[in-house]
Structure 1
Amino acid sequence: MDVKVDIEYCGGCGYLPRFEELAEKIRSTVPTANVSGKEGRTGSFEVTVNGTLIYSKLSTMAFPDFENVTEIVGEVAGGKPIRPVSVQQPINCTIL
């Protein structure tokens, strides 16, 4: 099944390398996936699969776990239903 993955990322926040890392991980694991990215809202890292939002950094304030995102894309490519990301990367926050 064709899978379209759209990732909106904050360019001003320096999230382009994270987008590239996730896109490469998806492409190497699910070669049939069509992955695209675009600069978007401040602080954003939103992941949409076939038009369904599966992760929003704007809502969680954390990045998604890239392994979990890749696993979901692989499942969708295999015909399974789209599900939301259930794992996120740890939030590294230091209060000075």
Structure 2
Amino acid sequence: MTPEPIKPPKKKKTLIQGKKLTLRGSPRKHYLDLEDAVKHEFDDVVVSGSVGRLRSFEVTINGKLAFSKLETAGFPYEEDIMNAIQCASKGIDYDKITRSRPPMSCVMM
């Protein structure tokens, strides 16, 4: 009886989930910009999104909350998200992202 050939393990895809904001259009732009950047940098990453709570913007990597606008009051820097994805894809634990850009605001005069 011949042994079955050993199959190489399937490459695990990193799952990124970002919640779209519903706040005057610019939050949607943040989600789409981040989605484009992730897809450009990582061809094997699955990006999915859903509508979140008002004024929320959260990024989850493989089920772990990586960033929350509700906690930081701003939007994530792309390089911080990219670093977290890189760590997750290598199986390295990463800290929750706490650095953020201030949200865009509109001033009426």
Fold match, TM over 0.5? yes
Q: Percent identity?
A: 25
Do structure 1's residue 33 and structure 2's residue 12 form an aligned pair? no
**Equivalent-residue separation in structure 1 for 2:98 and 2:35 (angstroms):** 19
> Structure 1 residues 31 and 40 mapped into 2: Cα distance closer, same or farther (>3 Å)?
same
The Cα RMSD (Å) is 2.1
State TM-score, norm by structure 1: 0.84
C-alpha contact (below 8 Å) 1:54/1:85 kept by paired residues: yes
The residue that corresponds to 1:87 in the other structure is 99
Counterpart position of 2:17: 6
Q: Is the 8 A contact 2:66 2:84 kept in 1?
A: no
From the superposition, tell whether residues 62 and 80 of structure 1 become closer, same or farther in structure 2 (CA, over 3 Å).
Answer: same
The Cα of 1:72 is off from its aligned counterpart by: 1.0
Residues 19 and 10 (structure 1 numbering): CA distance in 2 closer, same or farther, change over 3 Å?
same
Structure 1 position 86, deviation (Å): 4.1
* Alpha-carbon separation, structure 2, partners of 1:34 and 1:16: 18
- Equivalent-residue separation in structure 2 for 1:84 and 1:54 (angstroms): 5
Query: 1:16-44: per-residue Cα shift (whole Å, max 9, x none)?
Result: 11101001111111111111111111001
Deviation, structure 1 residue 67: 1.2
1:44 paired with 2:56, answer yes
Q: CA deviation at 1:74?
A: 1.7
Higher Cα Rg: structure 1 or 2?
Answer: 2
Which runs of 5 or more residues in structure 2 are unaligned? 1-11
Letter in 1 for 2:39: R
Question: Which ranges in structure 1 are unaligned for 5 or more consecutive residues?
Answer: none
